[in-house]
């Protein structure tokens, strides 16, 4: 098979790394590509502008057997629809289904309609009534831009002032452009978060093992929220009982609900969960693999990923099984100093080979480039150093052994990835 992977981050490097191990795969193209995959995939710089015409032409000319789309933006903008119109096979939700992530208001309405547990919310399309509501309830909230905002559109409003500022930031300052035409204001949920990843063909569901992200920039979950500073799998907070509860009260109702809306959802359904005192509640739905959760999920997958993705497209997900390695996995993200605020790029990176040579360590590239033979930093999140080991403690130690080998100026990483799993062992 010839496979085309779309996207540029650590998640996509992990997908390429995983499918490169499949005996079904002869050739992998990656658009736009990143250094991490240069040896296992051919990177092509193809524009995603102009309704994806150049990409669709390329896929058609190269007779691509399967296109895998990593990030939410091309999904929300209808890349899958365009490829399917050309008779090409593509994995991911179409534009109508990707609205589950692209509009928080839509997701909330779907949840309310289908009795899916989530934070109580209200949606507003102008700031004055949003602010009047905040004054009326005067309690801690989350204020969220309705549309896609690169993971930055959810702002805590722990005090009334903070919440009003968030509304102004989103709706008046238009910090996220048109994504802030509406805001969703919801109650602040308290509990432990977990990421629940499911493949679905629109009817059947195949849940992955659990994982947990670490969103805040600094140790002890302090600092600003980022795209994710590390992840581990499994997340012990998801007990077998909770797993069943999440499938029954959240995943199946969401999949059936999307079908009932005339928006059958095919692809990855990522459920961001808060495990509250009264049970699991949905914080967000995403329509694609998590980043950096993918960096710990796919290394634990013993089965070939490609037939699973094909079964999603064919509606035969009930006919496949997925085996998992028992070993836990940990991924520590190394970022540019200053991230998620401003940071410098172009810093030379050393020690990658030594880190990759360590037993069961893989370094996934998120933002690197080559210049005159040197490997340089090229963004906020640079690398994801992942390790698998017999238990969570050893996996953490091994991942940090990998991190210790790697150097670049002002490198920033959290030193407490996996702390919740360790705390549970005490
Ligand atoms: P979102 O953009 O909806 O994924 O939210 C980003 C992050 O903000 C989540 O991963 C949570 O850590 C946090 N968050 C979002 N909504 C809530 C909420 N209602 N209560 C508590 N934390 C939340
Ligand atoms: N790690 C969170 C996300 O991918 O949205």
For position 300, which CATH number holds?
A: 3.30.470.20
272 close to ligand 1 (CB < 6 Angstrom): yes
SS3 content of the chain, % helix, strand, coil (to 5): 35, 30, 35
Atom from ligand 1 closest to the CA of residue 187: 19
374 and 380 in contact (C-beta within 8 Å)?
no
* Distance (Å, whole) CA 5 – CA 258: 26
Task: Tell me: pLDDT of 378 over 80.
Answer: yes
Domain final position from 319, 341, 373? 319
CB 274 within 8 A of CB 192: yes
Q: Is the peptide bond before 81 cis (omega within 30 degrees of 0)?
A: no
Are 339 and 227 members of one domain? no
Q: Based on the domain organization, do 21 and 52 belong to the same domain?
A: yes
Report if residue 82 sits inside a domain: yes
3-state secondary structure of 55: helix
Residue 209 sits in the same domain as residue 277:
yes
* Final residue belonging to a domain, choices 319, 337, 364: 319
pLDDT of residue 399: 98
What DSSP string describes 144-181? Answer: EESS--TT--EEEESSHHHHHHHHIIIIIS-TTGGGGS
8 Å CB contact between 355 and 402: yes
pLDDT digit string (tens) for 212-243? 999 999 999 999 888 899 999 999 999 999 99
- Residues contacting 87, CB < 8 A, separation 6+: none
How does DSSP classify residue 323? -
Interval 345-350 mean pLDDT:
97
Domain boundary among 319, 352, 374: 319
d(CA 323, CA 105): 36
Q: Which residues contact 367 (CB under 8 A, 6 or more apart)?
A: 8, 9, 34, 345, 377, 378, 379, 380, 381, 382
Q: Using the mean position of ligand 2's atoms as its centre, give its distance from the Cα of residue 202 in Å.
A: 22
Domain of residue 148, residue span:
126-181
Do 289 and 349 lie in a common domain? no
* Crossing angle (nearest 10°) for helices 252-260 and 104-113: 100
Interval between CA 360 and ligand 1 midpoint (Å): 32
**8 Å CB contact between 130 and 155:** no
Query: Is the CB of 1 within 6 Å of ligand 1?
Result: no
Say whether pLDDT at 45 is over 80.
yes
Q: What is the pLDDT of residues 379-389, one digit of tens each?
A: 999 999 999 99
Residue 44 makes CB contacts below 8 A (sequence gap 6+) with: 29, 30, 31, 32, 33, 58
C-alpha separations of 151 from 74, 194, 352 in Å: 15, 16, 28
Residue 6 lies in a domain: yes
Distance CA 319, CA 297 (A): 21
Residues 209 and 273 in one domain: yes
The verdict on whether omega for the bond into residue 118 sits within 30 degrees of 0, i.e. cis, is no
**Is a pLDDT exceeding 80 seen at residue 196?**
yes
| Cβ-contact 272, 283 below 8 angstroms | yes
Tell me whether residue 12 is in a domain. Answer: yes
Tell whether ligand 1 has an atom less than 6 A from the beta carbon of residue 52. Answer: no
Instruction: Supply 104's token pair.
Output: 């928080």
Same domain, 216 and 289: yes
For ligand 1, atom 2: residue with the closest CA: 154
**Which residue of 108, 145, 154 sits with most ligand 1 atoms within 8 Å of its CB, as the best mutation to test the pocket?**
154
- The mean pLDDT value of the chain amounts to 95
Considering the domain architecture, whether residues 83 and 135 belong to the same structural domain is answered as: no
Strand 42-43 versus strand 27-32 pairing type: parallel
CA distance 269 to 367: 25
315 and 333, same domain (yes or no): no
Assess whether the C-beta atom of 154 lies below 6 angstroms from ligand 1: yes
pLDDT one-digit tens code per residue, 121-150: 999 999 999 999 999 998 999 999 999 998
Angle, CA of 219, 213 and 357, to the nearest 5°? 85
Mean pLDDT is lowest, of 31-45, 74-88, 228-242, 403-417, for 31-45
Domain shared by 176 and 198, yes or no: no
- Rounded to the nearest angstrom, the gap between the alpha carbon of residue 282 and the centroid of all alpha carbons in its chain is 15
Query: How far away, in angstroms, is 283 Cα from ligand 1 center?
Result: 6
* pLDDT higher than 70, residue 426: no
Cβ-contact 363, 406 below 8 angstroms: yes
DSSP secondary structure code for residue 278 in this structure: T
The tally of domains found in the chain comes to 4
Q: Whose CA is nearest to atom 14 of ligand 1?
A: 283
DSSP 281: E
Alpha-carbon distance values, 275 to 152, 190, 242, 297, 305 (Å): 22, 8, 9, 20, 29
């Amino acid at each position: 098979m010839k496979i085309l992977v779309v996207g540029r981050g650590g998640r996509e490097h992990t997908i390429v790394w995983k499918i490169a191990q499949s005996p079904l795969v002869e050739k992998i193209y990656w658009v736009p590509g990143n250094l991490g995959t240069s040896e296992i995939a051919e990177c092509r710089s193809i524009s995603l502008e102009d309704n994806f015409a150049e990409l669709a032409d390329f896929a058609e000319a190269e007779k691509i057997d399967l296109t895998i789309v990593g990030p939410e933006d091309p999904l929300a903008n209808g890349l899958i629809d365009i490829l399917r119109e050309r008779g090409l096979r593509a994995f991911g939700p179409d534009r109508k289904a990707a609205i589950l992530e692209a509009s928080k208001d839509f997701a909330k309405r779907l949840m309310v309609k289908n009795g899916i547990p989530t934070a109580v919310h209200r949606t507003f399309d102008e700031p004055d009534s949003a602010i009047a509501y905040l004054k009326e309830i005067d309690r801690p909230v989350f204020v969220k831009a309705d549309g896609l905002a690169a993971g930055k559109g959810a702002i805590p409003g722990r005090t009334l002032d903070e919440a009003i500022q968030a509304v102004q930031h989103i709706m008046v300052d238009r910090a996220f452009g048109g994504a802030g035409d509406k805001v969703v204001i919801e109650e602040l949920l308290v509990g432990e978060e977990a990421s629940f990843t499911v493949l679905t063909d629109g009817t059947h569901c195949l849940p992955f093992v659990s994982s947990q992200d670490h969103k805040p920039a600094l140790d002890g979950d302090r600092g600003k929220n980022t795209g994710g500073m590390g992840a581990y799998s499994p997340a012990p907070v998801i007990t077998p009982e909770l797993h069943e509860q999440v499938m029954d009260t959240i995943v199946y109702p969401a999949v059936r609900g999307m079908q009932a809306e005339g928006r059958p959802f095919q692809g990855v359904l990522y459920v961001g969960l808060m495990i509250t005192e009264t049970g699991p509640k949905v914080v967000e739905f995403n329509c694609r693999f998590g980043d950096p959760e993918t960096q710990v999920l796919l290394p634990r997958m013993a089965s070939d990923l490609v037939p699973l993705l094909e079964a999603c497209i064919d509606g035969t997900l009930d006919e496949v099984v997925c085996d998992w390695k028992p070993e836990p996995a940990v991924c520590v993200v190394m970022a540019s100093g200053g991230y998620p605020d401003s940071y410098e790029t172009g810093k030379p990176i050393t020690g990658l080979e030594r880190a990759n040579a360590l037993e069961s360590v893989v370094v996934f590239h998120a933002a690197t480039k080559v210049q005159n033979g040197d490997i340089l930093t090229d963004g906020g999140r640079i690398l994801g150093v992942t390790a698998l080991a017999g238990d969570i403690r050893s996996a953490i130690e091994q991942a940090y052994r990998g991190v210790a080998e790697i150097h670049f100026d002002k490198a920033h990483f959290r030193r407490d990835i996996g702390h919740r799993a360790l705390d549970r062992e005490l």
